[in-house]
Structure 1
Amino acid sequence: MLSAFLYFDLSFMVWYLLGPLQVQIAQALALDTQQRALMVAVPILCGAVLRLFLGLLADRIGAKRTGMLAQAVVIVALLVAWMLGVESFGQVLLLGAMLGVAGASFAVALPLASRWYPPEHQGTAMGIAGAGNSGTVLAALFAPMLAVAFGFRNVFGLACIPLVVVLVVFAACAKDAPVAVARKTLGDYARVLVGNRDSWWFMFFYAITFGGFAGFASALPGYFHDQFGFEPKLAGWATAACVLAGSVMRPLGGVIADRIGGTRSLQMVYAAVTVLVAVAALGVGGPAATVALFVLTLLCLGAGNGAVFQLVPQRFGSEIGLMTGLIGMAGGVGGFLLAAGLGVLKQQFGSYAIGLWLFAGVALAAALCMVGVKQRWRMGWVQLGTARV
């Protein structure tokens, strides 16, 4: 569990690295708002797609070996960026694509932890391992500050230091669960999607909870800079407060879902997010009030992440690897659409409000959809009665 958490935590730190650095990079490369948004969204999208392939690889060579290989690829990419520099929009997009390998760690860390625990503790186990998304806090706190002191290029080299340390710990301590794991193919992913509407529901629900978390985590440094004139360091600290709330609540969300049921937790999450984001879109209050609204928003989204993965092992116990990849991919796609969409709408209309209203509307739709599927899931999963639905 500890190895999975550390691997996930540091992977998320570098996956998110371009978000807190976006203001300095955009100023150095003369990027507009839309380009800046695409820059921070590309790692999210690439991480989403690569999760499927990392999941396939983990089934063949084991989650531990896959995690080590992925970490090595990320370290090499950062070292190249540090030594050769990032001098153009195309180069920073290429770096973002390579950092997507770190985002794909989701398909390694969660199954590595999950396979050691029974269904009634899945929410807690997945929540603790998934709390590795707290790595975004480390990036938000330290990356802008280090960039001011040493330049953003040197931040890429400095990030390799903790990555190497965790790679050594992971290699020494991580263990694959002693359970048989069937090797999956892309056809298996297609089979789960075709004729199984629950897989699509889970992907939709996670595209909002994790997509909202990842999308806002990447977009908020630029949002706070544009909206309130925050300097990069202050924007990073404000964002760190938001992502810390979401990260802390992920394991707690799993525990809460174990106790009151994942469906009830999600319904409450989506309702709260609808209200909070809508109020933020209205622009009520000053910078402090807006930061507080986003802290509460990401806190709710973090709880929702834990709740989704309290339900996944109950519904897809024998296909947890397949669904982890698919659902994780959907979450990444949701994050990409949110981060990129906010930037596009800001550039086209001069305001972030439209993008926030759209996200609030999607969260409301999810709350209403949960009402429709909740009873069917509860009635259909009674045979798994050790855990609450």
Structure 2
Amino acid sequence: MDRKSFLKSGHTPSLFSSFLYFDVSFMVWVLLGPLVVIIMNDYPMDAAQKANLVALPILGGSILRLVLGYLTDVIGPKRTGQLGLIVTMVPLVWGWQFVNSLNELYIVAVLLGMAGASFAAALPLASRWYPPQYQGLAMGIAGAGNSGTIFATLFANRLAKHYGDWHTVFGLALIPVAITFILFTLLAKDSPTQPAPRKLSDYGAVLKQRDTWMFCILYSVTFGGFVGMANYLTIFFNTQYGLDPVRAADFTTLCVIAGSFFRPVGGWLADKVGGIRMLMILYGIVAIMMASISTLPPLSVITVLLFVGMMGLGMGNGSVFQLVPQRFQKEIGIITGIVGAAGGLGGYFLPKILGNLKQSTGSYTPGFLIISGIALVCVVLIFILQGSWKKTWIGSGGKARSDQAAIQATS
């Protein structure tokens, strides 16, 4: 690929703005994940309550994504992104200065979902500037902002320990959000070729199709599994292995790195061996890893298992969206929003499964076995449907068509 040609084909400041907005927003979105093991010193919580606290931002992001998606179509991605950043400051200020109870913290958690909804504005801002042959690269650069998760798991608990107060972390998070707002305002620019706003009937037409729901299921397991685990693993390491908050978050960071940086590899391998074959392999790996984790082996072993499992989930994200553009070439914008929202819902239910079953049974084993079973169900569903897919819309051998191989949405 000609780098100069890519740079000339779009708008680099907007691409950078999209990445920065996405990266900082993702950091804020998962902020409660590592902090909850420190927050519970002030607000004692059982396993179900801790799971609920880290799951609510994901649920909020899934719901608010639909709102920001609509606004992106109506007022443009730049104004929508600016609005999203301003609203994101509200729960941060609240958590910094005004939270006085666990119930208030639940409200803050839901409002943090605005940061997670940044997908809906950040990705169109980048995508609409670039021609089809560069969509994969542009979306990959913008979507690399999910690495913001690493900043939350690596620094949140360290800062809380340093300042002796978890509230301060919310206040400090305002700094990168404010800087991002300024840079976003100065650098971002809406593409002159904005598509017409989508109609509700357009969504209805897509939702009537079976494959839409199939991709929603698949992505709710891969992306939902990644973001759900990213938010919950600090609790797991702290509760199951007695790690202090900083070490528990560090172990989580190792696993999150696998899910974040192996995502593009999944899309690339899917291009090489076929999306169907790749997904069946990855869901099989995730099922085996989660079943192995359910035995709750020593810390060193479980860290390796989780690293491989998160790597599989991350690669699965790329593989799912290697197939989506082939099936929905004309409706890619609509289907990306729907499937992305489904991924958020999956991320909401995963901590609930682990936390509620830990509360009711006293063990994490049933929760991980259920997640393993869900991954196996995905293998079976793909196996059943692959025949009709290959006959109707997918390329020979399950490989991507040449004109779609580069299109990999990262939401």
Asked if Structure 1 and Structure 2 have the same fold, meaning a TM-score greater than 0.5 normalized by the shorter chain, the answer is yes
- For residue 326 of structure 2, what is the amino acid of its counterpart? Q
- On the 8 A contact 1:29/1:87 being kept in 2, the answer is no
2:33 is equivalent to residue 19 of structure 1: yes
Cα distance in structure 2, aligned partners of 1:113 and 1:311: 21
User: Among 260, 271, 276, which residue is 1:258 paired with?
Assistant: 271
User: Within 5 Å, which residues of 2 pair with 1:166-205?
Assistant: 166-194=180-208, 196-205=209-218
Question: CA 1:3–1:310 in 2, change beyond 3 Å: closer, same or farther?
Answer: farther
Cα separation, 1, equivalents of 2:394 and 2:251: 44
SS in structure 2 of the partner of residue 169 of structure 1: helix
**Partner amino acid, structure 2, of 1:327:** V
SS, match of residue 42 in structure 2? helix
Gaps of 5+ in 2: 1-14, 396-400
Which of 369, 379, 384 is the aligned partner of 1:372? 384
**Distance apart, 1:128 and its partner CA:** 3.4
CA contact (8 A) 1:128 1:251 kept: no
Q: Tell me, yes or no, if structure 1 residue 33 matches structure 2 residue 47.
A: yes
Q: Give the drift of 1:387.
A: 3.3
What TM-score does the superposition give when structure 2 sets the normalisation length?
0.89
Task: Please state if 1:387 is matched with 2:404.
Answer: yes
Q: Mark the CA change 1:304 to 1:129 in structure 2 (over 3 Å): closer, same or farther.
A: farther
Answer yes or no: is 1:340 the counterpart of 2:357: no
AA of the residue aligned to 2:376 = L
- The code of the aligned residue for 2:46 comes to D
- Aligned to 2:262, the other structure's residue is in SS state helix
Identify the residue that residue 354 of structure 1 maps to in structure 2: 366
**Which shifted more, 302-311 or 6-15?**
302-311
More helix by share: 1
Please name the residue that 1:134 is paired with. Answer: 147
Match of 1:5 in 2: 19
Measure the CA separation in 2 of the matches of 1:114 and 1:335: 25
Distance 1:136 1:81 in 2: 19
Matches of 2:182 and 2:311 in 1, distance apart?
32
Query: CA distance change for structure 1 residues 293 and 128 in 2, over 3 Å: closer, same or farther?
Result: farther
C-alpha distance in 1 between matches for 2:187 and 2:214: 36
CA contact (8 A) 2:325 2:404 kept: no
Q: Which residue in 2 is equivalent to 1:240?
A: 253
In structure 2, what is the equivalent of residue 319 of structure 1?
A: 331
The aligned residue for residue 287 of structure 2 is: 274
- For the structure 1 residues 326 and 354, does the alpha-carbon distance in structure 2 shift closer, same or farther, using more than 3 Å as the test? same
CA contact 2:47–2:359 (8 Å) conserved in 1? yes
CA contact (8 A) 1:23 1:232 kept: yes
2:177 counterpart of 1:163: yes
Helix, strand or coil for the counterpart of 1:29? coil
Give the C-alpha shift of residue 163 in structure 1.
1.2
In structure 1, the residue matched to 2:157 is 144
**Secondary structure in 2 aligned to 1:317?**
coil
User: In the alignment, which residue of structure 1 is the partner of 2:223?
Assistant: 210
Deviation (angstroms), 1:133: 1.3
Contact 2:128 2:194 in 1 (8 A): no
Q: Which digits, 9 at most, give the CA deviation of each residue in 1:179-203, with x for residues without a partner?
A: 3412124443233212x11110110
What's the secondary structure of 2:404's corresponding residue? coil
Asked whether 1:81 is paired with 2:81, we answer no
Query: SS state of the match for residue 355, structure 2?
Result: helix
What is the one-letter code of the residue matched to 2:378?
A: A
Partner residue in 1 for 2:3: none
Alignment partners' CA distance in 2, 1:364 and 1:127: 28
1:101-154 deviation line (CA, Å, top 9, x unaligned) = 111111222333333455565555434322211111100000011111121000
Percent sequence identity is 47
Unmatched 5+ stretches in structure 1:
none
Q: Give aligned pairs, total.
A: 386
Paired residue type of 1:215: G
Aligned-pair CA distance for 1:164: 1.4
The SS at the match of 1:282 is coil
CA-atom RMSD in angstroms: 1.9
> In structure 2, what is the Cα distance between the partners aligned to 1:307 and 1:128?
17
